[in-house]
């Protein structure tokens, strides 16, 4: 596990207090750099890349025989959700006349060495996903696409909370990340997932889930 990932796990977003909440909230859409995305299709392809990464992560993780029982059931469902997000985003991009990004070539390193490393990495992915959607939301122009993206964002938050709870993390700062979610700029998200990309920009043939 890289230092970046370790930092992500321990450097949880600070809690936003009531008085500061509004100020923080109103900055939620301004975290990403002004030119991060120039179209809805770009935002959707960014989301698609992250969803590909997550879907493949759970596909491999759930084959590694690290979890069982209820826990396995949850992780299978989470993996199915991510695969569903891939399909939905791909169809939407095509509908808009865009070209969907390909599945990135990935390498999850030692993430599947143990149950703990699997869940810990999953927790990072999910919280990064939550932050990525919120950070990019301000760039979405079409309100109905925004609603669907928000709908995915909410489900990523569910995943993050449940995985955090499976790990037995403390409630606040582990399961929950404060009273409000915090957006993460594109550059930070890409930096966080970089260790899992074999060769940034390299894509593999379409994966069927």
Name the pairing type of β-strands 203-204 and 103-104.
antiparallel
CB 83 within 8 A of CB 107: no
Closest of 137, 152, 150, 164 to residue 81, by C-alpha: 152
Q: How many residues bind other proteins (CB under 8 A)?
A: 59
Q: Please, are residues 132 and 160 in contact by the beta-carbon 8 Å criterion?
A: no
Contact at 8 Å (CB) between 83 and 31? no
Task: Please report whether residue 21 would count as binding other proteins according to CB under 8 A.
Answer: yes
Position among 1, 4, 9, 29 found at the interface with other proteins (CB under 8 A):
29
Q: How far apart are CA 165 and CA 1, in angstroms?
A: 21
- Which range in 1-9, 112-120, 146-154, 199-207 contacts other proteins by CB under 8 A? 146-154
Binders in 46-85 for other proteins, by CB under 8 A: 74, 77-78, 80-81, 84-85
Beta carbons within 8 Å of 182's beta carbon, 6+ residues apart: 13, 16, 24, 28, 131, 134
Q: Are 130 and 160 in contact (CB under 8 A)?
A: yes
- The distance of closest approach from Cβ of residue 191 to other proteins in the complex, given in angstroms and rounded to an integer, is 22
102 part of the interface to other proteins, by CB under 8 A: no
Q: Which of 28, 98, 102, 195 binds other proteins (CB under 8 A)?
A: 28
Examine residue 150 and tell whether it contacts other proteins (CB under 8 A): yes
**CB under 8 Å to 86, separation ≥6 — which residues?**
48, 51, 52, 55, 209
Q: Is 190 one of the binding residues for other proteins (CB under 8 A)?
A: no
* Piece of 59-67, 115-123, 159-167, 192-200 that binds other proteins (CB under 8 A): 159-167
Shortest CB 72 distance to other proteins, Å: 14
Under the criterion CB under 8 A, does residue 33 sit at the interface with other proteins? no
Q: Which stretch binds other proteins (CB under 8 A): 56-64, 100-108, 111-119, 163-171?
A: 163-171
Q: How far apart are CA 60 and CA 67, in angstroms?
A: 12
DSSP state letter for 98: -
Q: Is 206 in the site for other proteins (CB under 8 A)?
A: no
Q: Return residues touching other proteins (CB under 8 A).
A: 16-19, 21-22, 25-29, 74, 77-78, 80-81, 84-85, 88-89, 91-92, 95-96, 130, 134, 137-138, 142-148, 150-155, 157-162, 165, 170-172, 175-176, 178-183
């Amino acid at each position: 596990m890289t230092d970046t990932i370790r930092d992500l796990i321990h450097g949880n977003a600070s809690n936003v207090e009531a008085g500061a909440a509004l100020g923080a909230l109103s900055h939620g859409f301004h975290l990403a750099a002004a030119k991060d995305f120039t179209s809805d299709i770009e935002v959707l392809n960014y989301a698609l890349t992250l969803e590909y990464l997550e879907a493949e992560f759970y596909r491999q993780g759930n084959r590694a025989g690290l979890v069982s029982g209820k826990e396995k059931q949850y992780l299978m469902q989470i993996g199915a959700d991510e695969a569903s997000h891939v399909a939905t985003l791909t169809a939407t991009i095509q509908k808009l006349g865009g070209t969907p990004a390909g599945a990135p070539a990935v390498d999850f390193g030692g993430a599947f060495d143990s149950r703990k490393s699997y869940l810990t990495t999953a927790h990072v992915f999910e919280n990064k996903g939550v932050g990525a959607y919120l950070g990019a939301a301000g760039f979405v122009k079409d309100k109905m696409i925004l609603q669907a993206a928000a709908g995915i964002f909410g489900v990523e938050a569910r995943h993050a909370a449940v995985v955090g709870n499976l790990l037995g993390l403390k409630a606040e700062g582990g399961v929950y990340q404060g009273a409000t979610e915090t957006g993460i700029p594109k550059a930070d998200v890409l930096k966080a997932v970089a260790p899992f990309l074999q060769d940034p920009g390299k894509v593999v043939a379409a994966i069927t889930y």
